[in-house]
Structure 1
Amino acid sequence: MEIFGVNIGSIKSEHSLSELIELISDEKRNKINFYRKKEDYLRSLTAELLIRVILVKKGLFQNKDIQFEFNNYGKPLLKNSSIEFNISHSGDWVVCAVSNCLVGIDIEEIRPYNVSTIKESLSASEFNTLIDLSENDRNTLFFNLWTLKESYIKAVGEGLSIPLKSISFEINENEIIFTNSHNNDIFNFKQYEIDDRYRLSVCNENALFPKEICIWSFHKLYQDSINLLK
C-alpha cells in the first residue's frame, strides 16, 4: 500500500492547466470543464492526474490504456485490474491511496460546525466523548472521527447506505478501536499528520500501512504528468 499527497497551494503561474487537461480522458475533461470554481477544477484535475501518474510510474499501464468504471454506489474502480485505489481532496490537499485490497482515504480541513447537525453521524459513545471537550479539541476529534468513518465507507464502496451510527471509533494514543454493528467486516485504520489544519484517515483490509505519506509538490506532479502521460 502507498499513500500520496499533493499540495495544490504550490501551483505557479508557469503551470499550464490547459496543457495538463489534455492528458486525461475526454469524459473526465468534459466533467472538469463544467466546474465554475477554479478550486474545484484544480482539485479534480489534480486527482485525475495523480492516479494516472502513479499507475504509469508503477509500470501497470500506459496512460492511453487507463480506464475507470464505477460500482452501483458510484465508487471509482480501475477497469481490467485488481489494483484498488481511492482519492480524497479538501482545501489545498489532494490525497490518493493505492493498495492490492480494499482501501479508502479521506482528508478534511478542520472547520467550525454546529454540534446539533452532526449528532446523527455519531454513535452515542462518540457523541458523549465529543461534547465533554473544549471547542478546539471537539473540532479536532470530530474530524478525526469523520475521516475515519468516511475512509471505511469509501473502502467498502456502499456509500451512505451504511448508517454512520452503525460504525464507531475510539481513538487512544496508539490505537484506533473500530466497532462495527453494520456487519462483521474487519478493517484496519491509520491516521497521518499531513498539515495542522487537516485530518487524514486511511482504511485498509490488511494492516500493512506505510510509515509516511509520499508528498509531492504540484510542480513535481506537473513535470511527471508532462513526461509520463503524453
Structure 2
Amino acid sequence: MLSVVGTKNLSARWAFNFSAWHPTESQLLLATSCLQPEEKERIGRFVYKKDAKASLIGRLFLRKYVGDLVGDYSSVKFERDEKGKPYLIDKSLQDSLSFNVSHQGNFTVLAGEVGKIVGVDVMKIEYSGGRSLSDFFRLMTRHFSPEEWVTIKGYYGTSEREKLAMFCRHWCLKESYVKAIGSGITVDLQKISFRIHTRMLSANAVVADTKLFVDGNEKSEWHFEEMLLDSEHCVSVAWKDVLPKSSASIQPTFKFLSFEDLVQNCESISSPDLAYCRNFLEKEEKPS
C-alpha cells in the first residue's frame, strides 16, 4: 500500500515547453523506460512527434508527482477510466490524491493536490479557423452565458486580440472545472458561467478572484487560479477541498521544469528500447 511521505510539496503546478524540447536518443531511452507498457504503446501511436512529446511529458509529470509524494517510483501504477483519464490503481491514495494533466499549444501542464479535487487546462491564444472572429463567436454562442459574452466581447474599441484572449481564458476556465468534476465537455457549458473581476492576466502573478456560477448559483467552494505561461498561453486550475484541514494556499506561479528535473529521481520499469526511440525521433514534428 502506498502512502504520502512527509508533508512537503503536496501541491504542484508544473509546466514544460515540449515544443522547445528536442530530445536526444539517450533522453528518450531513459524517459520511455520509465513508462508502463500500455503508456508506451499509446504514445507510440501518435503520428507526429509534437503530439508524442506532449503526451510523454504528461506521463512523466504524473510519475514524478506521485513518485515524489510516496517515495517509491517503481510501485506507482496507473490505469485509465472509461473517459481515458489516468488514475492510480492503489486505492489507498485515490480519495486523498488528485492530479490532472493538460497539453495544448507548446506546453504540457500538471496540477496536483492532496486533500483537494483538481483540474487544469492550458490553451494557446490563437485562432486559425478561416472564418472571421465574429462568425466564429456566433458559432460558439451556446457554449457561453450572455454575461460571459459581454465580458468576452468587451467594450467599444476592444481589439480582436483582446477578445480572443478573453474567449480562450473563459474556455480554459470551463475545461479546468469540467475536468475537475470528471464530466468532460458533454455538459451544458452555457449553464457554467464565470464572473471575471481581474480583466488582465500576467505571467508574474496568479489571479484568484474569478467566481463560478452554475445555473445562476455561485459555487463558492470552488477556487480558480489563472495566469499566463507566456504571451501566447493561458492556464487555469480549478480546485475545491475534499478533506478537512487541507491547505488552502495559492501556488505563486507555475514552475517550469526541465527534462533533467523530470527524470531526477525516476526509476526504469522496463528495458531501454532503441528501435522504439529511433522510430519516435524519425516522426515529423507536426503537419506541414
TM-score higher than 0.5: yes
The equivalent of 1:51 in structure 2 is 62
How far apart are 1:180 and its partner, in Å? 1.2
Q: 1:182–1:52: structure 2 CA closer, same or farther, 3 Å change rule? A: farther
CA contact (8 A) 2:175 2:185 kept: no
* 2:176 corresponds to 1:138: no
* 2:199 corresponds to 1:161: no
State the alpha-carbon separation in 1 of the partners of residues 84 and 144 from structure 2.
24
How far apart are 1:102 and its partner, in Å? 0.6
Which secondary structure does the structure 2 equivalent of 1:108 belong to? strand
Indicate the RMSD between aligned Cα atoms, in angstroms.
2.1
- Of residues 30-39 and 158-167 in structure 1, the stretch that sits farther from structure 2 once superposed is 158-167
* 2:224 corresponds to 1:189: yes
CA contact (8 A) 1:7 1:218 kept: no
How far apart are 1:182 and its partner, in Å? 8.4
The equivalent of 1:178 in structure 2 is 212
- 1:83-141: CA deviations, max 9, x gaps? 10000111221110111211000000011252223212111111233234420110110
Greater radius of gyration (CA): 2
Alignment of 1:141-152 (within 5 A): 141-152=166-177
TM-score with structure 1 setting the length:
0.89
State the alpha-carbon separation in 1 of the partners of residues 67 and 83 from structure 2.
27
- 1:174-230: CA deviations, max 9, x gaps? 621211118885311110221110010000004432112221123432x42xx4222
CA contact (8 A) 1:71 1:77 kept: yes
- 1:42-62: CA deviations, max 9, x gaps? 00001001110122222x152
* 2:101 corresponds to 1:84: no
How far apart are 1:23 and its partner, in Å? 1.2
Aligned sequence identity (%): 26
State the alpha-carbon separation in 2 of the partners of residues 142 and 41 from structure 1.
28
- 1:21-59: CA deviations, max 9, x gaps? 12100011111100011000000001001110122222x
Unaligned runs of 5+ in 1: none
- Of residues 135-144 and 161-170 in structure 1, the stretch that sits farther from structure 2 once superposed is 161-170
Q: 1:183–1:161: structure 2 CA closer, same or farther, 3 Å change rule? A: farther
State the alpha-carbon separation in 1 of the partners of residues 23 and 238 from structure 2.
36
TM-score with structure 2 setting the length:
0.72
Unaligned runs of 5+ in 2: 1-10, 130-135, 199-206, 242-247, 269-288
The equivalent of 2:151 in structure 1 is 129
Which secondary structure does the structure 2 equivalent of 1:31 belong to? helix
